[in-house]
Structure 1
Amino acid sequence: MQKLDKDPNTIISTPIFLDATCSGIQHLAGLLLDLELGSNVNLVEYTDKEKPGDIYEKIVDPINKAINKIGLDNINYANLAKIKLTRKILKQSIMTKVYNVTTVGIAEQLRTQLKELKS
């Protein structure tokens, strides 16, 4: 990523063999040459003093705020104003969104996650 940032014509020949930190978003970050996004999915080197990127944790708050806003703006969904989803609950949905999971699929994933927490 650093080489690409300095020279967009750089040829990178490192194949991606394994799933890593949200690999779907890693691929998008690489294709878009997005250094900030790449940093959040650990495509950018970090020091021992820095924490690894965590895209899941980074977007939990904006997701919760969007859901809460629906509850605040619409009396029929007022219960959504109090939702506080966690990284653990959202991780699968965030990960699979890149692979075109449907809203019905996300709802089922969340339902499963919430059932596991309730048990």
Structure 2
Amino acid sequence: MRVSCIVLLACSLALAQAGTWRQSQDYISSDELRPSWTHRHSEMWPCDVADYPEAYLLIHKVEKRLQRMNDEQLKNRIVDYVVGELRDCKTGNEMDEHCVKRSIGYAMSFINRHKHQQL
């Protein structure tokens, strides 16, 4: 009987610890989605798209790709394309998160196509 109580107690403590660990992992994952830049207003991104948290993921991914490029003209073309995509995702004063996520693939494809054309 005593062994059963000890095993039950140990299992309960292990489950409680696992739940706490999972919550801390969820918190870390949500922080990783934040953009690399600390403020919303940037010379690169106009306020009408950069002010929406839904746009952060796409902007962050594009910024990471742009860091590896040297051609300013290509960078400007890519930013213009992404801004157009983000503006297409706006409806009134809201940005459609699903539209932005779909735009990630379009933007990455656009970047790859233009990078390969320059080589």
TM-score by length of 1: 0.34
> Which structure carries more relative contact order (alpha carbon 8 Å, separation 6+)?
2
TM-score by length of 2: 0.34
- Larger Rg, first or second structure (1 or 2): 2
